[in-house]
Structures are given as C-alpha cells and as structure tokens.
Amino acid sequence: MKYTRIPHTDIRISKICLGTMTWGRQNMEDEAHEQMDYALDQGVNFFDTAELYPIPAKKELYAVTEELIGNWFKKTGNRDRVVLASKIAGRAEFTKFIRTTGFTRDSIIEAVEGSLKRLQTDYIDLYQLHWPERNTNYFGQRGYNAHAIDVWEDNIHQVLETLRDLVAEGKIRHVGLSNETPWGTMRFLEESKVHQSLPRMLTIQNPYNLLNRLFEVGLSEISMREKIGLLAYSPLGFGTLSGKYLTEIPPRKARVTLFPNYSRYSGETAVEATKKYAELAKEHGLSMAQMALAFVNTRPFVTSNIIGATSMEQLKENIESIEVNLSDEVLEGIEAIHKAIPNPAP
C-alpha cells in the first residue's frame, strides 16, 4: 500500500480509501465485515462512510452502514487502526426523513452524536459536509443555474463555529467538504483564514474519474495551492469504467442495473468514451478498472481514492490498482480520448 497524509496534519492514510455506501443494501453485514477485514490486512487504513448510507437513501435503512461499521469495531477492537471519515447529510427532498436537515448548530450536533453512537466510537477523524446547503451545481448538475431561486443565507461562519466546538470536545478531529464548488471551497477557506480560531477545511470529497475530470477545471488549482486534498469518489463511475456494462446483457446485481436512475455515467457520449478507454486498456494488456483507478491514484491533487465494491473479487482488483504503473503511452492515450470526448459525464 502507498500512504499520504491528510493535509496540514500528521495523520497517515492509505492512498486507497475503503468506501462503504453499499453496505446494508447491496452488501449485508457479514460481507461488509469481510471487506473491512481484507482491506485492513492489505494496508488500507482509511474508511469513508456517511449517516445517509446506504444509498439510494431509504427511511428504513437510514444510517445502517454506520451501524455495521460500529459492530465491526466492537467485534474486532480495530478502531485505533482505522482513520474514520463520516458525513452529515445536507438538505434535500430525499433526506427529509432524517431530521430537520441543514447545517444549523442543533442539526450538526445531533448528526455527530448519532454517528458516534452508531459507530461505537468516541471520535470521528474527519467529519465532512456531504453537500452544500445552498442551491448549486452538484450531483451531476453541470451548470450553475439555481441562483434566482436560492434562499440560502450565508451561515458558513456559524457552521465552522459549531464544528470548532465539536473539535474542542474531542468528538471530531478534523473537517472537510464534499460535493463542493470552487466558490464554496474558497469561501470556507477564507473564513478560517480571517477567523483563525475556526477550523480549516482539509479535504474535499468530489467525483473524479476518466469520464468526469471537472475537478481539474477550477478546483485542482485550489487543491494544490491551498493544500486541500481531493478524496476522489466514483473513480469507476458507478462501475461503468470496469467495462461491465458494455455487454449486451448488463450484470444482474450491478448498481446501475438495480438502480437505473443512477445514469450519470451511462449517457450516449459517456458510453462512447468508455468503449475507447476499454480498447486502450485491452491494447496495453491492462484491466480496465485498474487503468481507471491507477490514473486517479497518480493525480497530484488526490489525497486518497475512494473505492467501492460489492464483491471480494472487485475489492481485491481495486486495491491492487495501487501497484499499477501507467506508461507514458497509456497516459497519452488517455489524454487523446479526453481531448476528443472531454468530460462526457457531469
């Protein structure tokens, strides 16, 4: 395994992060525990979860993923071997069953307390805002066109004050963003620069893969100049970059098959690009999934690459991507495809 550090800290984390969003829906508890056992044995010490998981969100399954992780901590005693990240859900139609969502002081405290209880731990190493409260372009929205209907009032200072108090209490160690834009990222960073008692956002968890490299447009410079590390999620684009959906009959238990509304990486242009990446991998004798993951692993702004798997076979292949070195010829081929079909998935 290769390791990095959470920026501005001495916390050493694996370059591969174990994602957990299928646990409790596509994967049952024994499978989740098997994945954690294996990942830890392979040197993966960074796990990412969220109060909303598993997804798609469902009232009856709210926060089950955190419970499964908590049960594993209790069973194995491995809490001190894991750097644990979780997230508070933002305001949305599909989160109304949770509580009065939004990042009010009471809501943040309630969310943290709930996660700590379910995870059976006294602290969370990295606590993230799952997506912005304000209307903006995230979750596949390519352009920003929500300003006229946005009723959000800037509460970033108050959010950071609440997070500061939770850090002081020892309930969370550090904080990060998720699904955030360049404006939002800089707004949080500037607030903590001006008011130095407030905690600094250290990471940003956004989508990044061969079909969606939009992070490079504005956020990559912020990431590198401000040292706010990308935790890349969906590095395989809901599994499309494994090539498994290029068959005439889609795999029966795969995510996009089960939840066809997860079509972000399945548009006509995205499929065209996926076919080209599949051909490139085959030409160079590479697993398509490992080529896609290795590309993400080696980007200079990526702090950790969040993989997800529903089978042990997938998990092993994904973790092994850390040992894959892409030749200059492969990287040139990737850039040629990207130039011809740039960012087909938003």
pLDDT tens profile 177-221 = 999 999 999 999 999 999 999 999 999 999 999 999 999 999 999
Asked if residue 327 belongs to a domain, the reply is: yes
Do 190 and 250 have their domain in common? Answer: no
Least confident of 73-82, 145-154, 155-164, 263-272: 145-154
Asked if residue 222 belongs to a domain, the reply is: no
Do 111 and 19 have their domain in common? Answer: yes
Asked if residue 39 belongs to a domain, the reply is: yes
3-state secondary structure at position 1: coil
Do 23 and 108 have their domain in common? Answer: yes
Do 264 and 146 have their domain in common? Answer: no
Distance CA 62, CA 65 (A): 8
Do 50 and 171 have their domain in common? Answer: yes
Kindly tell me if the per-residue pLDDT of 151 is higher than 90: no
pLDDT tens profile 269-298 = 999 999 999 999 999 999 999 999 999 999
* 3-class SS shares of the chain: helix, strand, coil, % to 5: 45, 15, 40
Number of folded domains that form the chain: 2
Do 71 and 200 have their domain in common? Answer: yes
Kindly tell me if the per-residue pLDDT of 250 is higher than 80: no
Do 178 and 245 have their domain in common? Answer: no
CATH number of the domain bearing residue 22: 3.20.20.100
Beta strand spans in 210-252 (E)? 229-233
277 carries an active-site annotation: no
Do 203 and 241 have their domain in common? Answer: no
Do 240 and 105 have their domain in common? Answer: no
Do 315 and 181 have their domain in common? Answer: no
Distance CA 7, CA 12 (A): 10
pLDDT tens profile 31-60 = 999 999 999 999 999 999 999 999 999 999
Beta strand spans in the chain (E)? 3-5, 12-14, 16-19, 46-48, 83-88, 124-129, 172-178, 201-207, 229-233, 302-307
Q: Which two tokens stand for residue 165?
A: 């108090």
Give the mean model confidence (pLDDT) for residues 151-175.
96
Amino acid, res. 338: H
The pLDDT value recorded for residue 143 is 86
Asked if residue 226 belongs to a domain, the reply is: no
Do 251 and 184 have their domain in common? Answer: no
Q: Which of 3, 38, 53, 245 is catalytic?
A: 53
Task: Give the end of a domain, one of 207, 223, 250.
Answer: 207
**pTM greater than 0.85:** yes
Q: What range does the domain containing 77 cover?
A: 6-207
Asked if residue 105 belongs to a domain, the reply is: yes
Mean pLDDT in the chain? Answer: 95
Asked if residue 255 belongs to a domain, the reply is: yes
Do 159 and 306 have their domain in common? Answer: no
